[in-house]
Structure 1
Amino acid sequence: MENNITMIHTLAIGMPKELHYSNGRSMNTGIEKRKVQEVYLSARGFEGDDVADKKHHGGPDRAVCLYPEEHYIQWEQELGKPLPTAAFGENLTVTNMLEADICIGDIYKIGDAVIQITQGRVPCSTIDKYTEANILLKRLIETGYTGYLARVLEEGTIYADSKIELVEKHPARVSVLHCNEVYFKNKDALAMKRIQAIDALAEDWKQKLEKRIQHLQSKVMN
């Protein structure tokens, strides 16, 4: 990956709106995004972008959502149909930034802004509803191809053709893919503790891992 150029494939934003899905049901969600040529990124997130479910999405540790463009080929083949722009609700669809290569705490400069990777994306059923594909959520979890989230270290404007430059690789070198495997399999307390110890990890993940560690340890004691 070192020789490959990391770049923005799509820059997208969107405000929550009503999503209609199967059997006449609907929900309020910010998953639907539209392409833009430039947008300002603040510590709270992109201007003109927001989430509906503030409990499970958004906040300073989850201000930016990124998803690797390469996975679209696999998902479109498996589903047998094309996916919409920013199908996973991501702000940045990126090239040459796979979960296996991106680590928690890595810092990137994108346009005028600087971001730090904080956690893997924990996908929800809204993805299936939006893409009209009832297997996608399950497959994201199985593969660990969830995308990932970031906090903003320096605010600034990002352009659709902005370069993505690695500023600093986190010394722990714990990949998003590894975190996802540990998080979703939920059986290795020692691996959870190693992830939890990374200073840059999102607070929400630290708390969730703590609960899982305690649960696993209580099972051992019983």
Structure 2
Amino acid sequence: MTPRIRSTNLARPKPDPGTPRLTGIDKRSAPAIEVFAPGPADGDGPHYGDGPGVAGDLVGDSQHHGGAHKAVYAFSREELDWWGSELGRDLPDGWFGENLTTEGLDLDRLLVNQRVRVGDAVELEVSISRQPCATFARHMGERGWVKRFAAHGRCGAYFRVVGPGTVRPGDAVTPLEAPEHDIDLVTLFAAEMGDDDAARRVVAAGVVPPHWHDRLARRVRRGRSPSR
């Protein structure tokens, strides 16, 4: 199958239990989405407060989500189907909070900082891995969800927006030239989830922004798992 966008998704805001805020994790199919770079990408920090990179979307937890490095989130239909089989339930497109549901592309094997073209004009760049959080767990309603998701080792892809524009279902997704390193999202996610060997590889490669690099480097030195 030619890699393509299966569904473009926007938040349907709902209360996040136990917090005073709304959450945008529950996303539903939309005819198209407009993507853009929401804020600084200078590498000095996460800049979470700059909001989503998708017009009309919602970032409820602005301390941990949004900003240039978390502008657009993608998850594959194949992984949703795998989880649906594991959990014994139907998982619609957008259910894992993704703006883009893909088909025919192993997102987790994309390399950090690799670019992909979507349709004719939009260009996205793999940035960092997702980290499962309490909001995700409450949304799923599955016992031990954070640990279970982490153990599977496939997190989907956060993208920066390099070339803004409109993304529609059916748009082709074309991976562009691979960077000259071997750090894929599986490796980065393992590093973030506490794998010291993976963390050493990520730190040595120097492929993530300084905020994330420094946290992993400190974790390697101290033998502790990083926070977001």
Category of TM-score, reference length = shorter chain: 0.7 to 0.9
Matching of residue 31 in structure 1 with residue 25 in structure 2: yes
- Mapped pair 1:13 → 2:10: yes
For structure 1, list consecutive stretches of 5 or more residues without a partner in the other structure. 218-222
TM-score normalised by L of structure 2: 0.82
State the alpha-carbon separation in 2 of the partners of residues 171 and 133 from structure 1: 39
- Distance across 1 between alignment mates of 2:23 and 2:211: 21
Which whole-Å deviations, capped at 9, do the CAs of 1:46-93 have from their partners, x for residues lacking one? 100121111111100110101121112221122111124311101011
1:31, 1:55 → 2: CA distance?
15
Aligned residue number for residue 220 of structure 1: none
Q: Secondary structure at the match of 1:179?
A: helix
Return the structure number with greater strand share.
Answer: 1
Aligned to 2:48: none
SS at match of 2:138: helix
Runs of 4+ in 1 over 4 A off after TM superposition: none
The aligned counterpart of 2:218 is 211
| Counterpart pick for 2:161 among 140, 152, 156 | 152
Deviation at 1:11, TM superposition (A): 0.8
Q: What is residue 43 of structure 1 aligned with on the other side?
A: 37
Which of residues 110, 113, 123 is equivalent to 2:132? 123
Q: Percent identity?
A: 25
Structure 1 range deviating more: 25-34 or 8-17: 25-34
- Counterparts of 1:47-126 in structure 2, within 5 Å, are 47-111=55-119, 112-126=121-135
Secondary structure of the 2:128 match is strand
* 1:16-54 C-alpha deviation (Å, 9 max, x unpaired): 432459xxx885211011211112111110100121111
Taking the TM superposition and a 5 Å limit, the aligned residue runs for 1:162-173 are 162-173=171-182
Classify the secondary structure of the residue corresponding to 2:176.
strand
1:133 alignment counterpart? 142
Q: CA deviation at 1:174?
A: 1.4
Question: Contact 1:83–1:131 at 8 Å: present in 2 too?
Answer: no
What's the secondary structure of 1:152's corresponding residue?
strand
Q: 1:190 aligns with which of 195, 200, 220?
A: 200
Number of aligned residue pairs: 208
User: Where does residue 47 of structure 2 map in the other structure?
Assistant: none
Query: In structure 2, how many angstroms separate the alpha carbons of the residues matched to 1:202 and 1:91?
Result: 22
Helix, strand or coil at the partner of 1:209: helix
| Cα deviation code 1:99-125 (max 9, x no counterpart) | 442110110111331110011111112
User: Residue 142 and residue 87 in structure 1: after superposition, are their counterparts in 2 closer, same or farther (change >3 A)?
Assistant: same
Given that 1:99 and 1:177 are in contact with CA atoms closer than 8 Å, whether structure 2 keeps it comes out as no
CA distance in 2, matches of 1:187, 1:71: 26
